[in-house]
Amino acid sequence: MANHLPMEKKVAVVSALAEGSSIRSIERMTGVNRNTIMSLGIRVGNGCTELSDILLRDLPCERIQMDEIWGFIGKKQANLRRTDDPRFMGDVWTFVAIDADTKLVPCYAVGKRDAYTTRNFVADLASRVKNRVQVSSDALGTYREAVNRGFGCEVDYGQILKVFKSSDLAPGRYSPPALYTAEKNAIVGNPVVADISTSYVESQNLTMRMHIRRLTRLTNAFSKKLDSFKAAVGLHFAYYNYVRTHRTLRTTPAVAAGVLTESWAVADLIEKTEA
């Protein structure tokens, strides 16, 4: 049914999905059946992933920040049963890279918070930049090997180790902990210590939680299937890179990075992913 929707309905549905509205609220606002909304979201999201894989090549990035954000599929990791397949249920992490200057997200990876996903993510990032870059990350143990494999010695890499104050909240309650100390360390090459930071990518994590309903904290919104989660993430980053005007840049990250000559509308995104 999604194929037979008029373009104005598709734009309304995809815009609402990209802005963080829930499936049922979009159904109430547009009158489009929830199954059609989900089908359209998955198809456009998968198309966005393929489109970005083509467009985001030979990027002139200079300072890259990396981080990972938690979510879950079906149920949280602690609630998995022996009969549940941990490859497709439980914790899921989205690894994200962002260009500190243009705010472009050159790549991301969805998977477990393990060495395999980290290596694939960093190798993908290394294949997309054309210059020697400075890369910053937190102190996750798998990053060091992944950067060494992906970039070799052709990178300036630094880590920031943050220590947070303990929380007095009762078990099961969530509140962001207060930062206690932050230590910056050069790992490979000669990174500019002042530029070792994850501030921009952590801000992007907040943007993801605001714009991807499945990642919003302390709600009943979540993905039942890994493929649906991946499609939602693909739609978000295409919308963020090509359509949504960045407040400080006053244009889209893709235009700022020279990937596009002008910003796209949601209709352009739909047409190019359904072509």
Q: What pLDDT, in 10s, does the model give residues 60-83?
A: 999 999 999 999 988 888 888 888
Q: Which residue has the higher pLDDT, 90 or 219?
A: 90
How many CA atoms, within 13 angstroms, populate the side-chain half-sphere of residue 55? Answer: 25
Residue 2 clears pLDDT 60, i.e. is over it: no
**Does residue 84 surpass a pLDDT of 90?**
no
Q: List Cβ neighbours of 275 (8 Å cut-off, separation of 6 or more).
A: none
Over range 37-61, report the average pLDDT: 96
**Over the stretch 113-159, which tens digit does the pLDDT of each residue have?**
999 999 999 999 999 999 999 999 999 999 999 999 999 989 999 99
Sheet holding 107-111, edge to edge: 107-111, 90-99, 63-73, 134-137, 156-164, 179-188
d(CA 119, CA 129): 16
- Give dist(CA 161, CA 141) in Å, integer: 11
- Between 269 and 89, whose confidence is greater? 269
The residue with greater pLDDT, 175 or 30, is: 30
Q: Residues near 250 by Cβ (< 8 Å), separated by ≥ 6?
A: none
pLDDT at residue 246 above 80?
A: yes
Domain range spanning residue 252? 2-274
Average pLDDT, the chain: 90
Answer whether 0.75 is exceeded by the pTM.
Answer: yes
Reported confidence tier of residue 169, pLDDT bands at 50, 70, 90: low
Q: What is the pLDDT of residue 221?
A: 74
Number of domains forming the structure of the chain: 1
Per-state percent for the chain, helix, strand, coil, to nearest 5: 45, 20, 35
Q: What is the structure's pLDDT at 168?
A: 62
How far is residue 164 CA from its own chain's centroid?
A: 24
Between 167 and 109, the higher pLDDT residue: 109
For residue 257, the domain's CATH number is 3.30.420.10
Model confidence at 213, in pLDDT bands (50, 70, 90)?
A: confident
| Spatial separation of the C-alpha atoms in residues 31 and 116, rounded to whole Å | 42
Token pair 């700022």 is found at 256
The pLDDT score that the predictor gives to residue 219 is 72
Residue 258, Ramachandran bin (φ over 0: left; ψ between -120 and 50: alpha; else beta): left
At residue 167, does pLDDT exceed 70?
no
Q: With 90 as the cut, is the pLDDT of residue 177 above it? A: no
Pairing of the two strands 63-73 and 134-137: parallel
Q: Provide CB contacts within 8 A for 173, sequence distance 6+.
A: none
